[in-house]
């Protein structure tokens, strides 16, 4: 007994759907909502997540798993319109007073004015390594991919696969490097109008609330994930000539603050890792 062509096409469709769900990211499976009640939502069968902020509260989520090295990708679409005073934080962090942390923070702005992407790196509980950037696109119109490549040699921050920041392992200069504390992924949307927009001068316009940011297509490539075989590039990843060129392009045209050039802030001398931060 054979299949009719109708039965055959139904079978093909069902198989195709099974493959698609197996490979699509699922927020229900990988993340927990940690605060903000109904303000944080997973929907479309776990393929989309949204965080929102109103006058009463923001919201947040965290990964179920911890990660130690890997490549972590997430697509975000940030709060549109007048988002001044709102901050969307997306970061990896371990726990405790000597924690390590890799930070992306998106500082909202008035309609038509650019977001600031604020980044920082904590090692053994010590941060103070801020770098800030404008983006070369409007991060509220579409989803864009924000990634971290973390291996024992370096940490690379990427936006749509363009490296924007490189933190090299500088243990030989006495700078601790994140390498034994596993990190979870966290994100939250909150109100920071006491400092975020022009140092707190522009206040959140609550008549525009709720403010909402969206997440999709989470991917984690680690040495234990099943897809690591085809995506193990992160383990050895160093910047090739083309990536270095793109990193220089970002740093030249879009970087608005770099702790490594802030001589006023470090009158005793710049932090040691700044010496090998040349690309
Ligand atoms: C908001 O826009 C102003 C004017 O372009 C800019 O100076 C500022 O850096 C932007 N970002 C924030 C978070 O204030």
Q: What is the pLDDT of residues 225-274, one digit of tens each?
A: 655 444 667 776 678 899 999 999 999 999 999 999 999 999 999 999 99
What pLDDT is recorded for position 7?
60
**CA 116–ligand 1 middle distance (angstroms):** 7
Q: Decide whether any atom of ligand 1 lies within 6 Å of the 114 Cβ.
A: yes
Q: What does the pLDDT average to over 153-176?
A: 96
Where residue 1 falls among pLDDT bands split at 50, 70, 90? very low
Q: Decide whether any atom of ligand 1 lies within 6 Å of the 63 Cβ.
A: no
Pick the atom of ligand 1 nearest to 107's CA.
13
Q: Are strands 144-150 and 131-133 parallel, antiparallel or unpaired?
A: unpaired
Q: From atom 13 of ligand 1, which residue's Cα is the shortest distance away?
A: 197
On whether the 5-276 domain is CATH 2.60.120.200, my answer is yes
Pick the atom of ligand 1 nearest to 115's CA.
11
**pTM of the shown model:** 0.89
**Token output for 63:** 């990964």
What pLDDT, in 10s, does the model give residues 35-71? 999 999 999 999 999 999 999 999 999 999 999 999 9
CA-angle at 60, arms to 55 and 63, nearest 5°: 180
Q: Decide whether any atom of ligand 1 lies within 6 Å of the 198 Cβ.
A: yes
- The percentage of the chain sitting over the pLDDT mark of 90, rounded to a whole number, equals 82
Q: What does the pLDDT average to over 97-102?
A: 98
Of 1 and 92, the one with more pLDDT: 92
Which residues form the catalytic set? 101, 105
Tell me the domain boundaries of the chain. 5-276
What pLDDT is recorded for position 23?
47
Where residue 25 falls among pLDDT bands split at 50, 70, 90? confident
Distances (CA, A) of 268 to 25, 221, 271: 47, 40, 9
- The percentage of the chain sitting over the pLDDT mark of 70, rounded to a whole number, equals 87
Q: Decide whether any atom of ligand 1 lies within 6 Å of the 109 Cβ.
A: yes
What pLDDT is recorded for position 230?
47
Where residue 14 falls among pLDDT bands split at 50, 70, 90? low
Q: Decide whether any atom of ligand 1 lies within 6 Å of the 116 Cβ.
A: yes
Helices (H), the chain: 5-23, 27-30, 241-253
| 103: nearest Cα among 83, 77, 80, 133 | 133
Of 19-23, 47-51, 171-175, the one with minimum mean pLDDT is 19-23
Q: From atom 10 of ligand 1, which residue's Cα is the shortest distance away?
A: 114
Pick the atom of ligand 1 nearest to 202's CA.
14
What pLDDT is recorded for position 10?
58
Of 16 and 81, the one with more pLDDT: 81
Q: From atom 14 of ligand 1, which residue's Cα is the shortest distance away?
A: 197
22 in Cβ contact with 14 (< 8 Å): no
The CB-based long-range contact list for 252-255 (8 Å cut-off, 24+ gap) reads 253/136, 254/133, 254/134, 254/135, 254/136, 254/164, 255/131, 255/132, 255/133
**CA 198–ligand 1 middle distance (angstroms):** 6
* Gap between the Cα atoms of 262 and 253, Å rounded: 18
Q: What is the mean pLDDT of the chain?
A: 91
Q: Decide whether any atom of ligand 1 lies within 6 Å of the 113 Cβ.
A: yes
| 213: nearest Cα among 119, 105, 113 | 105
Where residue 102 falls among pLDDT bands split at 50, 70, 90? very high
């Amino acid at each position: 007994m054979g299949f009719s062509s109708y039965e055959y096409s139904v079978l093909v469709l069902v198989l195709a759907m099974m493959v698609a769900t197996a490979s699509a990211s699922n927020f229900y499976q990988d993340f927990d909502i940690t605060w903000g009640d109904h303000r944080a939502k997973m929907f479309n069968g776990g393929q989309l997540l949204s965080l929102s902020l109103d006058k009463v509260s923001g919201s947040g989520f965290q990964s179920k798993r911890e990660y130690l090295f890997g490549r972590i990708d997430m697509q975000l679409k940030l709060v549109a319109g007048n988002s001044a005073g709102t901050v969307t934080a997306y970061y990896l962090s371990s726990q405790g007073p000597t924690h390590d942390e890799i930070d992306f923070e998106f500082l909202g702005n008035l309609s038509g004015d650019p977001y600031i992407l604020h980044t920082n790196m904590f090692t053994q509980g010590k941060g103070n390594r801020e770098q800030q950037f404008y983006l070369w696109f409007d991060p509220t119109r579409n989803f864009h991919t924000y990634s971290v490549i973390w291996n024992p040699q370096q940490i690379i921050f990427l936006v749509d696969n363009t490296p924007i920041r490189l933190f090299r392992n500088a243990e030989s200069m006495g700078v601790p490097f994140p390498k034994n504390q596993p990190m979870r992924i966290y994100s939250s949307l909150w109100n920071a109008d006491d400092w975020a927009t022009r140092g707190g001068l522009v206040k959140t316009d609550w008549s525009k609330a709720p403010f909402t940011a969206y997440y999709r297509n989470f991917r984690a490539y680690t040495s234990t994930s099943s897809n690591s075989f085809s995506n193990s590039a992160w383990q050895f990843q160093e910047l090739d000539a083309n990536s270095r060129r793109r990193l220089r392009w970002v740093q030249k045209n879009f970087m608005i603050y770099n702790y490594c050039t802030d001589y006023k802030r470090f009158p005793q001398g710049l932090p040691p890792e700044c010496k090998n931060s040349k690309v």
